[in-house]
């Protein structure tokens, strides 16, 4: 009976994740996410502008982690495929996380952004180093509220599956410390909220798939390659 309930829960969780991540791209930002495939693995997806997915250099994917419900790590095979990367956890994962370095882009005044550092583009006046982080909660459990140590991270402050329409507290961490003033939103839906001094904010999930995004932009001084650092985060999870 327990096994049947577990399998039913797993199937529902993975189905919700598939729906959530298929709808992940948002028009105002590039994000990275993991989308389940028919063979039990996950395809790394990248995109966002106008809902378009884009191919990418596999070298931009810096890491993928997988954990079970208790937070125990699971080995992950990473295989480059046409236009991206496929990952395969060694066993069923409750949570997946990814780090994607989209590189450095620069431009001259209001000209087009080119994928090269400022010191390699004559006349460049601004540049940005774009880093992406992602977390997919497939099954809620202890691991859901445990920080993974990502440089920029959104952590739910609960371990049980949230209920639609009920408040869910989350905390944003920057280098492991609470980050104040971080904007959180459901993509382009609803009104954004901003984290308090302790890095926390309260959001209200909907039934089924949810995609919570966080953005941080910060100026950088003394680096010839870029003038700002961009962090973008996407947390995907199911709710009752």
Query: With 90 as the cut, is the pLDDT of residue 78 above it?
Result: yes
Pairing of strands 126-137, 228-239: parallel
Q: Nearest CA to 29 among 218, 208, 227, 212?
A: 212
DSSP lists the bridge partners of residue 44 as 34, 85
Structure tokens at 149: 């140590």
Rounded (5°) CA angle 62-66-71: 130
What pTM was computed for the model? Answer: 0.85
Reported as a single tens digit per residue, the pLDDT across 105-124 is 999 999 999 999 999 999 99
Reported as a single tens digit per residue, the pLDDT across 154-200 is 999 999 999 999 999 999 999 999 999 999 999 767 789 999 999 99
Alpha-carbon distance values, 121 to 109, 113, 161, 192, 224 (Å):
12, 11, 48, 36, 11
Neighbours of 166 (CB within 10 A): 10
* pLDDT at position 140: 96
Structure tokens at 9: 């829960």
| 195, 184 contact by CB (below 8 A) | yes
SS (H, E, C) the chain: CHHHHHHHHHHHHHHHHHHHHHCCCECCECEEEEEECCCCCEEEEEECHHHCECCCCHHHEEEEEEECCCCCEECEEEEEECCEEEEEECCCCCEEEEEEEEEEEEECCCCCCECCCHHHCCCCCEEEEEEEEEEEECCCCHHHHCCCCCCEEEEECCCCCCCCCCCEEEEEEECCEECCCCEEEECCEEEEEECCCCCEEEECCCCEEEEEEEEEEEECCCCCCCCEEEEEEEEEEEEC
Query: Band of the pLDDT at 16, cuts 50, 70, 90?
Result: very low
| 206, 168 contact by CB (below 8 A) | no
Please state, for a pLDDT cut of 90, what percent of the chain lies above it.
78
């Amino acid at each position: 009976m327990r096994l049947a309930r577990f399998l039913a829960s797993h199937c529902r969780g993975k189905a919700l994740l598939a729906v959530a991540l298929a709808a992940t791209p948002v028009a105002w930002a590039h994000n990275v996410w993991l989308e389940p495939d028919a063979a039990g693995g996950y395809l790394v997806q990248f995109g966002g502008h106008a809902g378009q997915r884009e191919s990418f250099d596999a070298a931009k994917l810096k890491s993928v982690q997988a954990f079970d419900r208790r937070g125990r790590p699971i080995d992950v095979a990473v295989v480059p495929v046409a236009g991206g990367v496929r990952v395969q956890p060694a066993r069923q994962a409750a949570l997946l996380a990814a780090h994607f370095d989209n590189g450095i882009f620069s431009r001259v005044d209001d000209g087009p952004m080119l994928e090269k550092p400022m010191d390699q583009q004559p006349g460049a006046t601004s540049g940005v180093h774009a880093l992406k982080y992602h977390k997919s909660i497939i099954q809620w459990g202890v691991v859901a509220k445990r920080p993974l140590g990502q440089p920029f991270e959104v952590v739910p402050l609960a371990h049980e599956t949230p209920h639609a329409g009920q408040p869910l507290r989350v905390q944003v961490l920057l280098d492991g410390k609470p980050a104040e003033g971080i904007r959180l939103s459901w993509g382009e839906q609803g009104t954004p909220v901003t984290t308090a001094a302790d890095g926390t904010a309260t959001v209200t999930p909907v039934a089924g798939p949810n995609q919570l995004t966080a953005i941080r932009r910060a100026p950088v001084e003394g680096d010839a390659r870029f003038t700002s650092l961009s962090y973008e985060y996407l947390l995907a999870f199911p709710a009752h």
